[in-house]
A and B are shown apart, each in its own frame.
Chain A
Amino acid sequence: AQSVTQLDSQVPVFEEAPVELRCNYSSSVSVYLFWYVQYPNQGLQLLLKYLSGSTLVKGINGFEAEFNKSQTSFHLRKPSVHISDTAEYFCAVSVTGNQFYFGTGTSLTVIP
C-alpha cells in the first residue's frame, strides 16, 4: 500500500500572502499524484493532477504544484491567497489508477 504524508494539519495565512501546502508520498514505483479541495459541507473537487511530463502542474483557482521525484514530494502552492481559498486540502496518490490513497488533509485558513 502507498502512503501519503501531509505534514501540516493546519495552515493559517494572511490574505494575499503566498502559501505552500506540503505533501510527501512513499512509493518505489511511478505514481500519479493529485490535489483535491474540500469546501465546508461539500464533496471533494480536483484542483490538479500530475500524470507524467512537466513537473510543474497548474490547476484551477491559481494553484500549482511541483512534482519532485528525488524527494518524493508534490507540494501545492499559490502566490496570493483569497478568503475563498479557506478549505481542507487533500493530497492523493495512485499507482494503478483504480486505487487511491489520500493524506490526512491540511486545513487552510485565510485570515483577512
Chain B
Amino acid sequence: EAQVTQNPRYLITVTGKKLTVTCSQNMNHEYMSWYRQDPGLGLRQIYYSMNVEVTDKGDVPEGYKVSRKEKRNFPLILESPSPNQTSLYFCASSLTWAPSYEQYFGPGTRLTVT
C-alpha cells in the first residue's frame, strides 16, 4: 500500500531532551515536507526537501533540523525541544515539487514537551 508513515505517533518528552520523528514514504517521491498544526494557526511548513541532499527552510524552521540522506526518509530532529514546540506534526510527500502533483500526508505525530 502506498503511504507515508510517521513514528512515533504520540510522544511526551521533557524540555531539552533531543528527539527525532521519522517519516518514510514508499512511493519513490522526490519531494517531502514537514508541517506543524496548531489550533487557530492552521498548518505551517517547517522544512521541505526537493530531493536527496536538497533541503530548504519553510515558514517556521527555528528549533528544527532535517536531513535527507535517502529518498524515502525525511526525519525531523528537535535538538533541544521546548514547550512551544508542542504541536501536531505532519509529514507529506509528492512525486516532485511541481504543484500539479498531489501531496500525500502521513497520519501525524502528536508531540508534547513539558
**Which residues on A are within 8 Å of B, measured CB to CB?**
1, 4, 6, 9, 32, 34, 41-46, 49, 51, 90, 92, 94, 96-105
Contact = CB atoms under 8 A, between A and B. Distances in A.
A43 B44 contact: no
Interface string B14-52: 000000000000000001010100001111110010100
Given A104-B40, A104-B41, A43 B99 contact: no
Interface SS, A side: loop
Interface of B: 4, 31, 33, 35, 40-45, 48, 50, 56, 58-59, 90, 92, 97-100, 102-103, 105-108
Contacts of A103: 42
A43 B107 contact: yes
Contacts of A34: 99
A49 B99 contact: yes
B11 to A, nearest CB: 16
27 contacts: A4-B42, A32-B99, A42-B108, A43-B4, A43-B90, A43-B108, A44-B92, A44-B103, A44-B105, A49-B102, A51-B99, A92-B43, A94-B99, A96-B97, A97-B97, A97-B98, A98-B31, A98-B48, A98-B56, A98-B97, A99-B48, A100-B33, A101-B59, A102-B42, A103-B42, A104-B40, A105-B42
Nearest to B56: A98
